[in-house]
Homo-oligomer: A and B are copies of this chain.
Amino acid sequence: MRNRSTLSLRIPQPHRRPGDKPDFSTIAIPPAGSLERPATDANHRDLIPYAYGLIRVLNEDHKAVGAWNPRLDPAVLIKGLRDMVLTRAFDDRMVRVQRQGKISFYVKSTGEEATAVAFANAIEKNDMCFPSYRQQGFLIARGCPLVEMMCQCFSNARDPMKGRQLPVLYSFREYGYFTISGNLGTQAPQAVGWAMASAYKGDDRIAVTFIGEGTTAEGDFHHALNFAAVYRAPVILNVVNNQWAISSFSGMAGGDETTFASRAIGYGLPGLRVDGNDYLAVYAAAQWAAERARANLGATVIELFTYRAEGHSTSDDPSRYRPSDEWRAWPLGDPIDRLKNHLIAIGAWSEKQHQALIDEAVTLVRETQRETESIGTLADGSRAPVSAMFEDVFAEMPWHIAEQKKAAGA
């Protein structure tokens, strides 16, 4: 008999828990500008290194460097900065509103604003977004009226979802924002189908979807990659790797073994790994992938490497499972600060202007809240009529639902 070693079951564990010092020393951060920008029609095999690198544009001196620099007009950058600042102000306010018991639930995107905002600004207006629940920045960048978003969160009489969805699970067709599901991952292969439909019709619209790194473990992520590859669908599949999935660190989704961008390789798709807190890098990667998709060359997977700065949602207390000051140690910093510093470095912005921008955002959000509350809140009884509960199950109400509606006195 051979001398056999005994097996043991390996359970991945993060190397930092509450009480530990934050430690990101194992994370390699290549210098900005170190990667070439390949042609958008490059063969996927030649793109493999991009799944393991990190596309970065903003360097330590706040300069935009290297081939991936999208060379954007300062006005374009200032719009992006404004969208991010507004997103953060909105998030901050909504959490406060939740703490006051005015809404039941909220999900912040703090620290990851660049991922959604840069994307929204880099693609075309009639492209379609299939979001998870953390891309409010996309909606804000697209100009969705804050009051509509807030009425949704308040489930009040003007909630465009008629009180049927949890706060944050928006649907805004007008702003190219698909109805958010509470079930993780389902949107990704739907985005592929939507993109296939655009190709089928001979249109030029592309789809963009966002999925959390934890959710890449769902079968639906695989289906998205596989269908996108097989039918060469014009879709961009973003993995927002914010390193946490509620209490589970990214290693639970396989992140200790390899990058999430590398998931693309096995389907013959390009996978780009991008500094998700670098507005310019995200913007550039989005442009690259959109150009490739529109040229009928199919899908791109983009891993947006970032950090979930706050709790998973208002129901979560992250200090139970990770050092509470980790975000401050996160080497890729804060996307808002980084873009602000860049704009200042190129002479297009100042601290004063920035403070004014924040003040303006905070005021706007405060006024929106006032307007929303003047319509009403679920807590004080403002909501869609009870009859709305029975509508839209089908296009036409069948007899049994009509009877139930009657029984409910609605």
**A residues engaging B (CB < 8 A)?**
4-12, 44-45, 48, 196, 198-200, 202-204, 217-223, 226, 229-232, 234, 251-254, 256-258, 262-269, 271, 294-296, 298
Contacts and interface: CB of A to CB of B under 8 A. Distances in A.
7 contacts: A4-B294, A6-B203, A7-B296, A230-B251, A256-B268, A263-B267, A265-B265
Contacts of A262: 265-266, 268
Assembly stoichiometry (copies): 2
Nearest to A269: B257
B296 A231 contact: no
Contact of A226 (B45, B254, B267): B254
Q: Which one of A220, A263, A269 has the highest number of Cβ atoms from chain B below 10 Å of its Cβ?
A: A263
Contacts of A263: 266-267
Contacts of A234: 7
Contacts of A202: 6-8
B231 A10 contact: yes
A115 to B, nearest CB: 20
Given A198-B7, A219-B219, A258 B266 contact: yes
Contact of A199 (B4, B7, B203, B257): B7
A252 B265 contact: no
A255 to B, nearest CB: 9
A8 B229 contact: no
Contacts of A198: 7
A263 B230 CA distance: 14
B203 A7 contact: yes
Nearest to A268: B257
Q: Which one of A231, A265, A269 has the highest number of Cβ atoms from chain B below 10 Å of its Cβ?
A: A265
A336 B221 CA distance: 40
A6 B206 CA distance: 11
B265 A266 contact: yes
A258 B46 CA distance: 13
Given A5-B294, A264-B266, 8 more contacts: A7-B204, A7-B294, A9-B199, A222-B222, A230-B257, A254-B267, A256-B268, A257-B269
Given A10-B199, A204-B4, A219-B223, A254 B268 contact: yes
A123 to B, nearest CB: 12
A199 B5 CA distance: 11
A44 B268 CA distance: 18
A292 B251 CA distance: 21
A254 B232 contact: no
A265 B262 CA distance: 7
A303 to B, nearest CB: 11
A301 to B, nearest CB: 9
A45 B100 CA distance: 51
B44 A8 contact: no
Contacts of A5: 204, 294-296
A295 B5 CA distance: 6
Closest 4 CB pairs of A and B: A219-B219, A257-B268, A222-B222, A263-B266
Contacts of A265: 258, 262, 265-266
B12 A230 contact: yes
Contact of A44 (B6, B44, B258, B271): B258
B44 A257 contact: yes
Given A10-B199, A294-B5, A258 B267 contact: yes
